[in-house]
A and B are shown apart, each in its own frame.
Chain A
Amino acid sequence: MRQLRQSLPIGTFILGCLVILGLIPMVLRYINGLGAISNLSDGRPWGFWISFDLYCGVALAAGGFTLAGIVYIFGREKYHSVARPAILTAFLGYLLVIFALLVDLGQPWYIWHAIIYWNVHSPLFEVAICVMTYTAVLALEFSPAVFERLSELNVPVIRRFNWRIPLRVIRAIQIPLVIAGIALSTLHQSSLGTMLLMMPQSLHPLWYTPVLPLLFLLSAISVGPAMVIFESTLSNRAFGHELAIDVLSGLARAIPYILGLYLLLKLVDLLVAGELGLIFTAYPINLLWWAEIIIGVVTPIILLSRPAIRQNRRGVFWGSVLVIFGLVLNRFNVSMLALGMRPGFTYFPHWMEVAISVALVADALLVIWLSYRFLHIAEHEEAVAE
């Protein structure tokens, strides 16, 4: 209890305020329409919510399937301690996407239409089915953490139920779950790229390519470990337990290979399309391309391929931050900055659009905080609790 009071203060208070601030635009939206709380228009029907919540949210949740794969399929037990936090953040990331859609959609109460009216040709249909099924898979993958805790609790009604039974069921289907999670994520990460294939005219040729789905998948896989490094470093700070540097540098080692493949594919694709010259001539939009490549791809490749930096906590952390920044910039480029608008329109996100997204992230952080407090998320904590 003492522990709880110590860590409750300022941080969680601010998060709580942000959540409440985000509720105001949500109420206004249902009174005055989407136009009242956003700068979205007929010329820019998809804006900050789609770019940040959907495109970045899904990609940054990639830690879930990459870590689950490394630990449960490839049998690298070393990384077991970071798998659960990764699955938790992936689960919350997907919930964030769903909640953001409930604001963004014109008719959110009809979201279940996606289940009964199938348009199998629509990339967005693929996205919707993947979000639904993968969120369910993530919930199941994470559920042991809850069942474990429930089975320990000595609270009247709860202790009457044998929580070991659902726990055993989940453990039995764990490997099929992980495989399903990887297959669904592969489809889902790439399908966000497929969605953009419908816009050959409006997406700038520096980014538009038929291999966009593959580029999306590769960049998501590269950001998975980076996101896990980023989160665990921060949660180390917040909750005061330290992860072995061996684990961090092991995760970081994989990143340059995937990013290298990504960069190669990107360049070869531009070369084959005969559009490589655009990286010099398409001023000023090419600056965004260069920023994405230099900050988010080339620099982390150089940094993280050096053992000295991989053995250094700060080095690994900042290398990962660059990878994450590069990915976020890439997703904003393809879904907003390099995506043409109808003539005569401009767009800059309304503060209420940003407030809603910030509130959703604050929600997720609060849930993470609660989970670390009350569940066994990091195994180091388990030792402390016992």
Chain B
Amino acid sequence: MSKGTLYDATKCIGCRACQVACKQWNELPAEKTTNSGTCENPPRMTAYTFTKINFTELEYNGKFQWVFNKQQCMHCQEPGCAEACIVGALEKTEAGPVTYDDGKCIGCRYCMVACPFGIPNFEWDKPLPWIRKCTFCADRQGAGLRPACVTTCPTGALKFGERDELIAEAQGRIAEHPDKYVNHIYGAQEVGGTSWLYLSPVPFEEIGFTTLPSVPVTINAERAMAAVPPVLVGVAAAMAGIYWLVQRQQKIGQKAGEEEKQKEKVK
């Protein structure tokens, strides 16, 4: 069984206590920012900010809405980053978190390019840089604790538990209040499913979620990689065969030439 977290945007009040808790637990430094004209801060996630609340003002169903959504690593069921990682530094654990091992990482940044949510970030300002992203507090989970952000959330917008049970609960909440939610659990199907699940009062694309298909991003690469061993053997065999044929033909040609020469000599 793997763990997950359900984020209910209708319960979030945008207090950003989760951002603070995350920084504290992961001992991340503060970042110097400027007023961007919204209540959002910092402007975007970086190697030093693993989670961030986005604020969206919009009109939906003829009503003004101020909707929040929490961004962090989605901890995919079939993560592109882990498939991409050249040394296997990123791994999907059975418990749910996609963990990162800086003892293996070489800093190639393929994970950053391969992530469909644009999550892993890089320490661009350091001479010895690593990749950084939300850990789903794998360390806390290992000790039987809930993730720092979930623990600190004052309104119950974040709920930590078994992923399957959370999906059932989310379906229940939608069924109970179909007027309050759009009928979509983001993360239940997207890119093969994610450990983090979302409920929203407005369509997800309106608040900055990418519309993603339910097939994992890894599917085409997996197929191509499966073809590698047969292609290797096939090409080598074909080349060896062609070489043998060409050599044989040349030998036959030479022999014919020699025979003609001998015939000429006899004459």
Contact = CB atoms under 8 A, between A and B. Distances in A.
B121 interface: yes
Contacts of B154: none
B207 to A, nearest CB: 13
Nearest to B107: A106
Nearest to A35: B124
Contact of A182 (B87, B228, B239): B239
Contacts of A117: 87-89, 104
Contacts of A194: 221, 224-225
13 contacts: A42-B122, A43-B118, A73-B239, A73-B242, A73-B243, A105-B106, A108-B107, A113-B105, A117-B87, A175-B243, A186-B231, A187-B228, A199-B114
Contact of B124 (A41, A73, A120): A41
A137 to B, nearest CB: 12
A107 B83 contact: no
Interface string A180-219: 1011001100110111011111100000001001000000
A108 B107 CA distance: 8
B254 interface: no
Most chain B CB within a 10 A radius of its CB, from A41, A43, A179, A193: A179
A321 interface: no
Interface in B228-267: 228, 231-232, 235-236, 239-240, 242-243, 246-247, 250
A207 to B, nearest CB: 13
Interface string B83-94: 111111100000
Given A35-B124, A42-B121, A106-B130, A126 B228 contact: yes
Contact of A123 (B112, B125, B225): B225
Interface string A27-50: 001111111100011110110000
Contact of B84 (A33, A41, A124): A124
Interface string A330-364: 00000000010010100000000000000000000
Contacts of A119: 85-88
A183 B232 contact: yes
A29 B124 CA distance: 10
B53 interface: no
A74 B217 contact: no
Nearest to B47: A42
A164 to B, nearest CB: 25
Contacts of B1: none
Contacts of B104: 113, 117
Contacts of A123: 84, 221, 224-225
4 cross-chain pairs, A with B, having the tightest CB-CB distances, nearest first: A106-B107, A35-B124, A119-B88, A117-B87
A197 B224 contact: yes
Interface in B40-92: 44-47, 80, 83-89
Nearest to B46: A42
Contacts of B108: 101, 104-106, 124
Interface of A: 29-36, 40-43, 45-46, 69, 72-75, 101, 104-108, 110-111, 113-114, 117-126, 128, 175, 178-180, 182-183, 186-187, 190-191, 193-195, 197-202, 210, 213, 339, 342, 344
B124 A75 contact: no
Contacts of A69: 239
A117 B85 CA distance: 10
B66 to A, nearest CB: 20
B127 A200 contact: no
B250 A33 contact: no
A279 to B, nearest CB: 21
A123 B219 CA distance: 12
B109 to A, nearest CB: 4
Contacts of B143: none
Given A42-B112, A106-B130, A179-B236, A198 B217 contact: yes
Nearest to A34: B124
B177 interface: no
Given A105-B107, A182-B235, A183-B236, A200 B86 contact: no
Contacts of B34: none
Contacts of B212: 201
Given A45-B122, A46-B109, A344-B44, A125 B130 contact: no
A45 B112 contact: yes
A334 to B, nearest CB: 12
B246 A201 contact: no
Contacts of A110: 105-107
A75 B247 contact: yes
